[in-house]
Amino acid sequence: MKIERADIYIAPTGNRRAVLLELTTDRGITGIGEAGVAYGIGQHAAAEMLRAMIGRHVLGRDARRIGAIWNDLYDLSFWTRNGGAICYAALSAIEHALWDIKGKALSAPVHELLGGAMRDELLVYANGWWVGCDTPEEFARAGAATVARGFSGLKLYPLGLADPVTVVRHPTLRSLDSRVVPLVCDRVAALREAVGPDIGIMLDFGGGLTTDQVLRICRRLEPFDVLFIEEAVDPSAPDAMAAVAAGTTIAMAAGERCFGRAAFDRLLQCGVRIAQPDICNTGGLLEARMIAGMAEARNVRVAPHNYGSTLASAITAQLSAAIPNFMVLEFFPDYDREPGYLEVLENPLEPQLRNGRVPVPAAPGLGVALDRTALAPHHHAACVAGRPPGRQSECR
């Protein structure tokens, strides 16, 4: 079952630009994946990395040999060793597509190939509900309205300020105006009062502050029963993470900007209590499955990071179904209200959301299909296996 073609897309999906891949085999079976750099800067870099990796190491290979292809990509692409977001995002997308092909060929969902589903539906928490909020009262109203829709968990960026480009702007220059600190606490206090004691409140700090600033804020937030704080400090500062984890009763969560099992091994040694691998940039489904195993050995739960297109949600659901220490899945229930939103799938999971849960996909492979008609204007590149045999593969 040889891989003979790859199509790469860069698609605007509201506040994100998703980098999507579709591999096609000589049997007509297709597989899809997503490179997890849909926000920030780097979409074209990831698309070009995909094109280079596929042209050199994927076309003409047997799609069933996922491990062999993954390791060749890791071993021979050079920058993948101790690599960063672009390399690992491209590697992840290829791996997703190979699992999708294999699942379809075997008429089994991917989670069956990862050991089988441990649950039939997945608990999710809401993100994005806070767009347009600034004052504590606005956060309280929006949070209460989101809970009324059936969500039992809410995440927000209490340090963030509205930004016309990035939607929310995290602290910069390792500092936060002292006048903002009371506002941070007032936002969380108002939200807790509005939603009651049983709703999980999760905070994302964006990794922009120093250890002393974070600890000062954490101690003021402890009375509000915060479920976890995500990226409390810069992910490149493990000693700072360890100091924060030891200095507060609030659980630390991290992993969105950690790539591969080695990075997570270091992270888990720093006192992180909630591991957050992003299946679209940490190396793929099997790599994330191994990371979940490492976390389980340290008695740590996994709350996968999920901020891409609706394809990213479908991919992440496959892993979430198959690991014992799954905690909760990140969801953006109002994707389609974002300006310029484009649905990239024919059958996304998001519309199936009921009472804060989504069903585990049961169809073969990843269980979803690209909407090629919608994506056609956003086609970035095609890679086609060389013909006649012996000719170099061609990417254009």
d(CA 370, CA 374) in angstroms, rounded, equals 9
Let me know: does 99 contact 285? Beta carbons within 8 Å: yes
Q: For the domain covering 112-359, report its CATH number.
A: 3.20.20.120
Q: Around Cβ 45, how many Cβ atoms within 10 Å?
A: 17
**Segments making up each domain of the chain, as ranges:** 3-108+370-395, 112-359
Q: CB-hemisphere CA count at 13 Å for 183? A: 15
pTM (predicted TM-score): 0.94
d(CA 368, CA 320) in angstroms, rounded, equals 16
d(CA 204, CA 340) in angstroms, rounded, equals 25
Burial of 160 (0-12, 13-18, 19+ CB in 10 A): buried
Domain 3-108+370-395 falls in which CATH fold? Enolase-like; domain 1 (3.30.390)
Q: Is 64 left (phi over 0), alpha (psi -120 to 50) or beta?
A: alpha
Let me know: does 304 contact 320? Beta carbons within 8 Å: yes
Beta carbons within 8 Å of 317's beta carbon, 6+ residues apart: 122, 329, 349, 358, 360, 361
Cα of 16 vs its chain's centroid, Å: 12
Per-residue pLDDT of the chain (396 residues; tens, 9 = 90+): 999 999 999 999 998 999 999 999 999 999 999 999 999 999 999 999 999 999 999 999 999 999 999 999 999 999 999 999 999 999 999 999 999 999 999 999 999 999 999 999 999 999 999 988 989 999 999 999 999 999 999 999 999 766 655 667 777 888 777 777 888 999 999 999 999 999 999 999 999 999 999 999 999 999 999 999 999 999 999 999 999 999 999 999 999 999 999 999 999 999 999 999 999 999 999 999 999 999 999 999 999 999 999 999 999 999 999 999 999 999 998 988 888 999 999 999 999 999 999 999 999 999 999 999 999 999 999 999 975 433 444 555
pLDDT, residue 389, reads: 36
pLDDT, residue 175, reads: 79
Beta-sheet pairing, 274-275 with 301-302: parallel
Q: Is the bond into 304 cis (omega within 30 degrees of 0)?
A: no
pLDDT, residue 161, reads: 66
pLDDT, residue 177, reads: 74
Which three-class secondary structure string do you get for 1-69? CEEEEEEEEEEEECCEEEEEEEEEECCCCEEEEEECCCCCCCHHHHHHHHHHHHHHHCCCCECCCHHHH
